Amino acid sequence: MLRRKEMFDADARDYHEYKYTELVGQLDCHSFASRQERVLRLLPDRVDTAVDIGCGSGAYLPLLARRSQFLVAMDFSREMLKQSRASYGEVCDQFVEGDAMRLPLREQCMDLLICIGVLEYLPDPLACLREVHRVLRPGATAVLSVPNSQSLWRLFEQCVGPITRRCRRLVGKGHEGLGMDAARRTLFSVRSIGTLAEQAGLHVRDVEYYNYRLPCLGGLSTTMSLGVTRRLERLRKGRWMRWVSGGLVIQCRRPGTSPEEAPLTRNCIEILACPADKSPLTQSRAGMTCSTCGREYAVDDGLPAMA
């Protein structure tokens, strides 16, 4: 875990530029933009509380801020949090260092949770989904995104990707890439992520596919590959999409209905909890203290350290 954290800390400075700035990695950027567009379709219009688990450089925070009254950004990489706060500090109410598999959030405190491009890096994705279920209010929505194991392009990439990337770099057409791009990731099919979500007590309501790619084209020409991808992506529904889309976006719901009069959240102390026993915290001189086990969590420069 610690090594993973260090890897994301090291990638934090370049992450936004590599993944969300058109000129650096055209195909990566297209894939991230198309994912955002799909996520947007699955977000509810208006909620009280929302959280972005594994917020990275914060690209989703402005989208969530428009829909929520109280927004929390969480990541286990402090460097990622610093980057996201520098860019989106004005739109997000609280940045917290926390672990996706042991969320430092109280039970049933969130109306909306997103977890985009994170589950694939976790040693135990089911633990994370169980936490998602725990912190959602009954009837609340989670939007998750994972890489698609059925994508023919991904299968092809696993075999020849390292060679084509090398060739592209040699002819000066590639970028170095981030540490996280080379890290081991779990791929999920619609069925496997659906089963995990159901095991955690969530109901899968909708699936969107994004980043359509055909094997071989990527290695030959970026422009050609992007052209085909864009054309294919105009089509949105159909069983064949699972073979061409690099990633999946899943909308889930915690079953049940919330009482209509849930109090509005205005302060992070109302929603944060001790990650060990999920008990409420009280503000203390050191930062925050658990009311049950007495553990202290430092708040340094406004960032609670609860990972």
Ligand X SMILES: C[S@@+](CC[C@H](N)C(=O)[O-])C[C@H]1O[C@@H](n2cnc3c(N)ncnc32)[C@H](O)[C@@H]1O
Does position 274 interact with Zn ion (CB under 5 A)? The reply is: yes
Residues 6+ apart with CB under 8 A from 79: 8, 9, 10, 12, 13
Query: Quick one: which segment of 48-56, 181-189, 191-199, 263-271 binds ligand X (CB under 6 A)?
Result: 48-56
**103: closest CA among 81, 142, 131, 73?**
131
Residue 28 tokens, joined: 């990566």
Among residues 6, 176, 277, 296, which is the contact residue for Zn ion, using CB under 5 A? 277
Structural contact between residues 115 and 128, judged by C-beta atoms closer than 8 angstroms:
yes
100 binds ligand X (CB under 6 A): yes
Q: Can residue 18 be called a binding residue for ligand X (CB under 6 A)?
A: no
**Interacting span for Zn ion (CB under 5 A) from 11-19, 131-139, 191-199, 288-296:** 288-296
Convert residues 170-189 into a mask of x (bound to ligand X by CB under 6 A) and - (unbound).
Answer: ----------x---------
Task: Please say whether the dihedral angle defined by the alpha carbons of residues 242, 254, 259 and 262, taken in this order, is positive or negative.
Answer: negative
Burial 83-110 (b: 16+ CB within 10 A, else e): bbbebbeebbbbbbbbbbbbbbbbebbb
Least gap, CB of 262 to ligand X (angstroms): 26
Contact region with ligand X (CB under 6 A), list: 111-119, 131-139, 223-231, 284-292: 111-119
Print the binding letters for residues 127-166 with ligand X: x by CB under 6 A, - otherwise. ----------------------------------------
Residues that bind ligand X (rule: CB under 6 A) add up to a total of 19
Residue 282 interaction partner, one of Zn ion, ligand X, none, beta carbon < 5-8 Å per kind: none
Residue 295 burial (CB < 10 Å; 0-12/13-18/19+)? Answer: middle
**Least distance (Å) between residue 29 CB and ligand X:** 11
- Asked if 167 touches Zn ion (CB under 5 A), the answer is no
Per CB under 5 A, which of residues 121..150 are in contact with Zn ion? none
If the CB atoms of residues 126 and 217 are measured against ligand X, the closer one turns out to be 126
Binding flag, residue 107, Zn ion (CB under 5 A):
no
Residues that bind ligand X (CB under 6 A): 4, 8, 54-56, 59, 75-77, 80, 99-101, 116-118, 121-122, 180
